[in-house]
């Protein structure tokens, strides 16, 4: 896309700017249209065209900057636009209050939503045929969700990319022991592999990498994925979009797909006890099942499955591996600063290449928990989460241990580990 017509620049306020990265995102010659009250009194076609260009310009810039989400947040005097970059939100643009409704309405039109319903939440998909980033990552899909607030409608656009470059287990950044554990578990013919972590920890990316490993290591196996939403398209995998609030929810889709003779099932997330019970049934009947859950660590995930009503004897029979992971930002190699500390050779600084943050890109850290004889005995004995954590610590390094490895290797620094894990390295 060319330079957006220059109606003057409307920068985000310095008193609300949460990060210096914002400053250089827009100061590169691509200036957004400023639409004033006078412009709004012009012909509808002129003002409408300006809003169309404005929204398209924001979405294009989001993809160019590798943003995972675009937030349109109404305030008392403006519409604040924020990008989520490498996991953190950054103020990008402050739009005039008088065009806030028009901007949200434009997003609704693009997504096929009801523009006149401003009193209910709505969800839809945006067309993305022309949006591509600078690093060969194209926007595969854009999902928009609107929600009414006391200051007007709020909208969030989630950007899903193709060509992320994280296709294989070896690409994810895990330590060799965890990579081997994932690779070994993915080659099983039955059982469940559970990937856990908070939202935005890269769990789905790990599932896709495991699915690709299955396709490569065991060609000829039938793989079916049930997802909400479909975040990547994987050649050789039958992918199904779930409608959790419609007729095709996870339990119904699972029960139906089991009649179609799949050998490997990828289920986006275990969200409730009903889904968990169907997953247990599938894994106990000779299927390899890959899925995710929101939890802090592997021990917490095991306890949560038990609390969902899965009998301990069934859980130890079907659960093969539980992992937990986080994403940490990596230091910008263009500006990182050498230190005199052997346990932290580099620290972040900030430059134009990383937009002033000192970091560019992210990598994963993880911990694995295999259901060996001691773990099975502990689950059958109704062990507490703390007891399971002690067993896990004997099996594999923890998240903090792996984080310290990244700091020692100069991949990230102590400040980033403290932000992600809430703990300081020694």
pTM of the entire predicted model? 0.82
Domains located in the chain, CATH noted: 21-161 (3.30.450.90), 169-421 (3.40.50.300)
Q: Is 17 exposed, middle or buried (0-12, 13-18, 19+ CB in 10 A)?
A: middle
The pLDDT tens digits along the chain (426 residues) read 333 333 333 444 333 333 433 333 333 334 455 544 444 454 555 578 899 999 999 999 998 888 999 999 999 999 999 999 999 999 999 999 999 999 999 999 999 999 999 999 999 988 875 555 555 566 678 899 999 999 999 999 999 887 667 889 999 999 999 999 999 999 899 999 999 999 989 999 999 999 999 999 989 899 999 998 888 889 999 999 988 777 888 888 888 888 888 999 999 999 889 889 888 888 888 899 999 999 999 999 999 999 999 999 999 999 999 999 999 999 999 999 999 998 999 999 999 888 889 999 999 999 999 999 999 999 999 999 999 999 999 999 999 999 999 999 999 999 999 999 999 887
d(C-alpha 174, C-alpha 328), whole Å: 12
pLDDT of residue 1: 36
pLDDT of residue 133: 52
List C-alpha distances in Å: 84 to 65, 110, 117, 230, 329. Answer: 10, 21, 27, 20, 13
Q: Which residues contact 184 (CB under 8 A, 6 or more apart)?
A: none
- Phi-psi sector, 270: left (phi>0), alpha (psi -120 to 50), beta: beta
d(C-alpha 134, C-alpha 28), whole Å: 15
Convert the chain into a string of H (helix), E (strand) and C (coil).
CCCCCCCCCCCCCCCCCCCCHHHHHCCCCCCCCCCCHHHHCCCHHHHHHHHHHHHHHHHHHHHHCCCCEEEEEECCCEEEEEEEECCEEEEEEEEEHHHHHHHHHHHHHHHCCCCCCCCCCEEEEECCCCCECCCCCEEEEEEEEEEEECCEEEEEEEEEEECCCCCCHHHCCCCHHHHHHHHHHHCCCCEEEEEECCCCCCHHHHHHHHHHHHHHHCCCCCEEEEECCCCCCCCCCEEEECCCCCCCCHHHHHHHHHHHCCCEEEECCCCCHHHHHHHHHHHHCCCEEEEEECCCCHHHHHHHHHHCCCCHHHHHHHEEEEEEEEEEEEECCCCCEEEEECCEEEECCCCCCCCCCCEEEEEEEEEEEECCHHHHHHHHCCCCHHHHHHHHHHHCCCHHHHHHHHHHCCCCCHHHHHHHHCCCCC
Query: Which residues are 125's β-sheet partners?
Result: 143
pLDDT of residue 8: 34
204 near 198, Cβ under 8 Å?
Answer: no
């Amino acid at each position: 896309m060319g330079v957006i017509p220059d109606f003057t620049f409307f920068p985000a306020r310095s008193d609300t700017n949460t990060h210096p990265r914002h400053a250089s995102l827009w100061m590169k010659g691509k200036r957004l249209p400023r639409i004033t009250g006078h412009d709004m009194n012009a012909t509808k076609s002129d003002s409408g065209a300006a809003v169309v260009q404005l929204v398209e310009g924001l979405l294009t810039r989001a993809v160019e900057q590798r943003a995972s989400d675009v937030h349109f947040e109404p305030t008392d005097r403006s519409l604040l636009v924020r990008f989520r970059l490498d996991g953190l939100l950054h103020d990008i643009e402050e739009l005039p209050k008088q065009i806030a409704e028009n901007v949200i309405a434009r997003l609704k039109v693009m997504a096929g939503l009801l523009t006149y319903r401003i009193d209910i939440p709505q969800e839809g998909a945006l067309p993305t045929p022309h949006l591509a980033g600078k690093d060969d990552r194209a926007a595969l899909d854009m999902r928009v969700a609107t929600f009414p607030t006391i200051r007007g409608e709020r909208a969030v656009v989630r950007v899903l990319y193709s060509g992320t470059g994280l296709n294989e287990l070896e690409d994810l950044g895990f330590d060799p022991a965890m990579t081997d554990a994932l690779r070994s578990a993915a080659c099983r013919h039955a059982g469940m592999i559970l990937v856990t972590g908070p939202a935005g920890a890269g769990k789905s990316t790990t599932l896709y990498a495991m699915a690709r490993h299955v396709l490569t290591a065991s060609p000829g196996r039938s793989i079916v994925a049930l997802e909400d939403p479909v975040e990547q398209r994987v050649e050789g995998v039958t992918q199904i979009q779930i409608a959790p609030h419609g007729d095709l929810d996870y339990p119904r889709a699972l029960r139906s797909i089991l009649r179609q003779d799949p050998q490997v099932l990828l289920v986006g997330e275990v969200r409730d006890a009903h889904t968990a019970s169907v997953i247990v049934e599938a894994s106990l009947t000779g299927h390899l099942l890959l899925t995710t859950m929101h939890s802090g660590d592997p021990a917490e995930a095991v306890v949560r499955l038990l609390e969902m009503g899965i009998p301990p004897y069934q859980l130890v029979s079907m659960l093969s591996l539980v992992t937990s992971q986080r994403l940490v930002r990596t230091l910008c190699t263009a500006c990182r600063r050498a230190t005199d500390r052997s346990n932290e050779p580099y620290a972040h600084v900030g430059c134009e290449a990383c937009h002033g943050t000192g970091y560019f890109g992210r990598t994963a850290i993880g911990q694995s928990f295999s259901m060996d004889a001691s773990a099975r005995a502990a689950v059958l004995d109704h062990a507490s989460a703390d007891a399971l954590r002690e067993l896990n610590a004997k099996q594999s390094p923890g998240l903090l241990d792996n984080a310290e490895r990244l700091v020692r290797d100069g991949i990230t620094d102590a400040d980033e580990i403290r932000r992600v894990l809430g703990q300081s390295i020694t």
